[in-house]
Structure 1
Amino acid sequence: MARYYFDLLDEEGLVVDEEGLEFTDMEGVEREATQAMTDAARESLHRPIKPGEAAIEVRDDTGPVMRVRFTIEIERLRKQ
């Protein structure tokens, strides 16, 4: 099993995962990264919504292995 770290990068900065989790395959890593990004996106909706991007950057002991991104884009179609 290999240990993977799930760092969160958003408009507030970088939150580094110091502990990580162990996985036997990349499918498990991808599921965890997707769930972590879903949770971070849900939490961001409790703050004033601003356009921007957040990402979960996954790394192992040798470096980056995956990035999962979430983008909020606001397009006003009518001026009020």
Structure 2
Amino acid sequence: MSLFYFKTVDNDGMVPDDLPFEFPDLFAAVEEAKHVLAEMALDGLPQWPGGSLGIEVQNGDRTPIVRLRLELKVDYVRPS
């Protein structure tokens, strides 16, 4: 088992997690980060186009190793 930290960025700003999570490997940590990101989206999508929600997965030394981001993109389509 390895320790990982999640640093989140949501509509309220950046929040580093002070408590580590234990997972068997990086792939399990990324899967959990996906679930956390989905839960963050349930609380509210980014508030402006181009805004994003994100999670940075850090190893036990707090070195960033994976970043996940959910971005709000708005494209206006011109009627034909």
TM over 0.5: yes
Task: State whether residues 5 and 21 of structure 2, in contact with CA within 8 Å, keep that contact through their aligned partners in structure 1.
Answer: yes
Q: Deviations over 1:17-48 (max 9, x none)?
A: 11121011122111101111111112114xx8
Instruction: Tell me the matched-pair count.
Output: 76
Task: State whether residues 55 and 69 of structure 2, in contact with CA within 8 Å, keep that contact through their aligned partners in structure 1.
Answer: yes
Please, which runs of 5 or more residues in structure 2 have no aligned partner? none
- In the TM superposition, what is the alpha-carbon distance from 1:11 to its structure 2 partner? 4.5
Q: Deviations over 1:46-78 (max 9, x none)?
A: xx8422112100112221111111000112336
Name whichever of 65-74 and 5-14 sits farther off.
5-14
Q: Aligned partners of 1:12, 1:74: CA distance in 2, in Å?
A: 21
Q: Aligned partners of 1:10, 1:74: CA distance in 2, in Å?
A: 18
Q: Aligned partners of 1:35, 1:11: CA distance in 2, in Å?
A: 17
1:58 aligns with 2:57: yes
What residue identity is the alignment partner of 2:30?
Answer: E
Q: Aligned partners of 2:36, 2:20: CA distance in 1, in Å?
A: 12
Tell me the C-alpha RMSD between the 2 structures: 1.9
What residue identity is the alignment partner of 1:8?
Answer: T
State percent identity of aligned pairs: 32
Residue 8 of structure 2 is matched in structure 1 by 8
1:19 aligns with 2:19: yes
- TM-score (ref. length: structure 2): 0.80
